[in-house]
Structure formats: C-alpha cells, structure tokens
C-alpha cells in the first residue's frame, strides 16, 4: 500500500513496518483485534486506514483466508491416508458417511448379530457369547 506523505501534525502509526505486522497476523487468520495487538495500534487506527484505503479492506479479507486454504490443501494432500479420507467423507458426504449414516450402520450390524445368534441357537435359545 502506498503511504501518503504527512503534511504536519502527529506522525502516522501506519508505517510499512506496522502494515507488515498486520499482514503477518492476517496471514495467520488473526482477528482485527489480535492483529492490532501484534502491530501495537488501536483498532480505530486500522479502521480509519481502511476507510481511506478501500483496497486494503479487500486485501485484508484475502489474507484472512490463507489459513483456510492451507488447511484445505493439507487435507487434500493427505487424502491417500484412509483415516483422513474417511474424516473428509464424514464431513463432505454426511448423508452417506456422516454420523446419521454411521448410526444406521451400527443398527444394521447389531440386528445382524442378533439375528445370527437367534438363528444359530433357536428362537429362544441361549447364545454362548
């Protein structure tokens, strides 16, 4: 972001170093308050800067998406791992692999075990399990 030259008065807190600290924080997915704490500025200073520099607000939102994109990439790169693949499917295809589906699967397994136990030992017979 190009910084405007001050004509006088109090020097700006939004120096290249401050903007760099804000960028670093936003790349980590920090909130505005957390980023301002790291950059040692008041949130009002950030909001005033954004008001004067509309493109900075857009850049800030893009930077805040970085952790989400990194996480997606990490999951994608680990999909050959069966545990990761199952975790992914449980969240992306809930109807087929989610919690409700697993409850139906558990119920089916219990019914099969009960059915096979009664078939093996007679209708009212005891099972040796």
Residue for token digits 């952790």? 67
The ranges assigned to domains in the chain are 16-67, 79-121
- Between 92 and 74, name the one with better pLDDT: 74
Structure tokens at 6: 């001050």
Give 3-state DSSP helix, strand, coil % of the chain, rounded to 5. Answer: 70, 0, 30
Asked if the model's pLDDT at residue 108 lies above 80, the reply is no
Predicted structure pTM score:
0.60
Torsional class of 8: left (φ above 0), alpha (ψ -120 to 50), beta (otherwise): left
Average pLDDT over residues 7-11: 75
């Amino acid at each position: 972001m190009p910084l405007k030259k001050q004509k006088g008065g109090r020097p700006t807190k939004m120096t290249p170093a401050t903007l760099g600290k804000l960028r670093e924080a936003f790349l980590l997915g920090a909130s505005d308050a957390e980023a301002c704490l790291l950059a040692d500025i008041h949130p009002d200073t950030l909001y005033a800067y954004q008001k004067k520099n509309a493109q900075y607000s857009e850049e800030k939102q893009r930077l805040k998406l970085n952790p989400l994109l990194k996480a997606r990439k990490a999951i994608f790169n680990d999909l050959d791992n069966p545990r990761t693949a199952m975790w992914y499917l449980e969240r992306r295809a809930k109807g087929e692999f989610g919690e409700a589906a697993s409850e139906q699967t558990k119920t089916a397994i219990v019914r099969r075990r009960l059915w096979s136990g009664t078939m093996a030992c007679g209708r009212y017979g005891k099972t040796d399990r």
